[in-house]
Amino acid sequence: MNELTNINNRLSSIDISKLVEYTRKIQDIGAGLNPALAPMYLRDFILAYDVASTYLASAIRADMQADSLLKQAESIAFLDRAGDYLSEKGVRDSAEARKQYVPIDPDVMSAKDMRAKTTAMVSLMKNKVHEYRFAMEAVKKIGYTSEYQSQYEGM
């Protein structure tokens, strides 16, 4: 299926290695972040949030296309290929027998695998968007509220 290849290429274009450095910076929030470094960290997490949101949009698009292809593959398997398979196996052709064939159709299995990949990517990107959002909030608290600053800060 050419469409599955296109979806796979779209997923491959999501370069999560760009997010690795931003994710590493999250560990620095509790260890070495101070009000002087807050603007730089805030900038980095805003950029990370933007990149992750863009990737999330691509993943959602791929997931919706994969869902459509899966439904299409299931319909084709039910209507076109199940009959030949059932007669080859000596099974009486019926709607119930056709339903039993659909999950073992090779195109359906490939489409289900692609749908699983796209769904996993959507989940990962949603988590990354939330992670960077929470990191921005933490940086704002540490950098811009008085409860995290000493009495000598800002002098």
What would the pLDDT profile of 86-127 be if each residue is shown by its tens digit?
A: 999 999 999 999 999 999 999 999 999 999 999 999 999 999
Could you tell me the pTM of the whole model? 0.84
pLDDT reading at 55 higher than 70: yes
Residue 66: domain span: 37-143
Distances in whole angstroms, Cα of residue 28 to Cα of each of 7, 38, 107: 36, 11, 46
Domain count, the chain: 1
Phi, psi angle pair for 52, to nearest 5°: -65, -35
Model confidence at 31, pLDDT cuts 50, 70, 90, reads confident
Cα–Cα dist 143/44, whole Å: 14
Candidate ranges 6-15, 36-45, 94-103; pick with highest mean pLDDT: 94-103
Cα–Cα dist 135/117, whole Å: 27
Cα–Cα dist 14/20, whole Å: 13
pLDDT value for 91: 95
The type of residue at 85 is Y
Instruction: Flag whether 19 is in a domain.
Output: no
Could you tell me what percent of the chain has a pLDDT over 70?
A: 93
What's the whole-number average pLDDT of the chain? 91
Cα–Cα dist 88/127, whole Å: 47
Instruction: Flag whether 86 is in a domain.
Output: yes
Instruction: Flag whether 85 is in a domain.
Output: yes
pLDDT value for 155: 45
Instruction: Flag whether 112 is in a domain.
Output: yes
Instruction: Flag whether 31 is in a domain.
Output: no
Instruction: Flag whether 82 is in a domain.
Output: yes
Instruction: Flag whether 5 is in a domain.
Output: no
Cα–Cα dist 126/116, whole Å: 15
Instruction: Flag whether 128 is in a domain.
Output: yes
pLDDT reading at 44 higher than 80: yes
CA atoms within 13 A on the CB side of 77: 21
